[in-house]
Amino acid sequence: MDKKYYDEFTRITEAAGDALMLVNDGNGVKGIKVKDFKLSLDNIFATGAGAHNGIYRGKNLGTSVTADQWAEIAAGTFKDLYIGDYWVINGKTWRIAGFDYWLNYGDTACNTHHVVIVPDENLKVADGSTTHYMNTSNITTGAYVGSGFYSGTNADSSSNTAKADCKNMAKAAFGASHILTHREYLKNATTDGYEIAGAWYDSDVEMMTEEMVYGGKEFKNIIAGTHVPVGYTIGHSQLPLFTLNRSKICNRATWWLRDVVSSTNFADVAYHGYCDDRDASNASIGVRPAFAIF
């Protein structure tokens, strides 16, 4: 129900008060007060991230974000925006994956209401060429921050434009001023194939974590004898999109995650939908990042 129709329904039901309406609840027809029926709908149409993170709709929202939608996002009310809703812009399907996912998080708190976007399709499509989206060799030294993807420069000094390309596509779709920058704890060092250090970085468009996709760690090395690996992250819970509709994890393409699995491999989501990991220089893996608009 669109907001304008819901507002009209509210006006009518408030006027009806204690009048009865007939409904069939599966056990026969019975009368209930109109105002009581309205109260049940109010629970569905509650505003804010908490309510809207729990409803999957999947509605096509058009080819651009409207002024009303930007206003709802800025206010944190998110009226008529739900998980799974999407815009089709520049030939890509940009789907709502969560509301206020990073709100209050970070060494400097994120205080901006936002909508997390995950494209249905990989933004960088694996083509088996010599373009390497993580590293040009099979190393995970420096973890995600140390990768050619993140730094923009491969170990052999060649340019790696994959991250910049993803950011430019997001900016072209929603406008550079609407792409959220928040503080993210990213891993920047490894030893013996597991992450040993991290730091806070400004973050906008990034590869997702295993937890964001699967809801838990799958391949990440979190047991290292007497050592305590740096396995913690603020991307520690599954995005509502994947909780409410797990079919959206598997887009029939393989795409990188930012977690280190070993001295040679990063995690990924496989074409078939299962959790996987691949050599860092594997050119058959695409990029499907997450980011937020505000």
Q: What is the chain's length?
A: 294
**Other beta carbons less than 10 A from residue 25's beta carbon:** 8
pLDDT (mean) for 262-289? 92
pLDDT reading at 190 higher than 70:
yes
DSSP-based three-state secondary structure for 270: coil
State the Cα–Cα distance between residues 222 and 67, nearest whole angstrom. 45
State the Cα–Cα distance between residues 285 and 122, nearest whole angstrom. 10
Do 278 and 265 share a structural domain? yes
Q: Tell me the pLDDT tens digit for each residue of 131-151.
A: 678 999 999 999 999 999 999
Q: Where are the alpha helices (DSSP H) in the chain?
A: 3-16, 34-44, 49-52, 67-75, 148-151, 162-174, 210-214, 240-244
Q: CB–CB of 120/286 below 8 Å?
A: no
Q: Give the per-residue pLDDT at 288.
A: 97
Do 90 and 20 share a structural domain? no
Do 283 and 153 share a structural domain? yes
Q: Give the per-residue pLDDT at 237.
A: 85
Do 131 and 35 share a structural domain? no
pLDDT reading at 16 higher than 70:
no
CB-side neighbour CA atoms (13 Å) of 264: 6
pLDDT band, very low/low/confident/very high, at 217 (cuts 50, 70, 90): confident
Q: CB–CB of 289/123 below 8 Å?
A: yes
Q: CB neighbours of 176 closer than 8 A, spacing ≥ 6?
A: none
State the Cα–Cα distance between residues 161 and 255, nearest whole angstrom. 16
Residue 68 domain boundaries: 48-294
Long-range contacts of 146-150 (CB under 8 A, 24+ apart): 146/188, 146/189, 146/190, 147/266, 147/280, 149/207, 149/256, 149/287, 150/186
State the Cα–Cα distance between residues 185 and 155, nearest whole angstrom. 23
Do 245 and 265 share a structural domain? yes
Q: Give the per-residue pLDDT at 196.
A: 92
Q: Give the per-residue pLDDT at 163.
A: 95
State the Cα–Cα distance between residues 21 and 34, nearest whole angstrom. 6
Do 67 and 39 share a structural domain? no
DSSP-based three-state secondary structure for 254: coil
Q: Tell me the pLDDT tens digit for each residue of 56-86.
A: 999 999 999 999 999 999 999 999 999 999 9
Do 123 and 221 share a structural domain? yes
DSSP character at residue 247: G
Q: Give the per-residue pLDDT at 19.
A: 62
Do 100 and 124 share a structural domain? yes
Q: Give the per-residue pLDDT at 201.
A: 98
pLDDT reading at 102 higher than 80:
yes
φ, ψ of residue 118 in degrees (nearest 5): -130, 120
Do 254 and 186 share a structural domain? yes
Radius of gyration of the chain, Cα coordinates, nearest whole angstrom: 22
pLDDT (mean) for 193-199? 93
Do 280 and 141 share a structural domain? yes
pLDDT reading at 281 higher than 90:
yes
Do 286 and 211 share a structural domain? yes
Q: Give the per-residue pLDDT at 290.
A: 98
Do 7 and 133 share a structural domain? no
Name the domain count of the chain.
2
DSSP-based three-state secondary structure for 229: coil
Look up the pTM and report it: 0.83
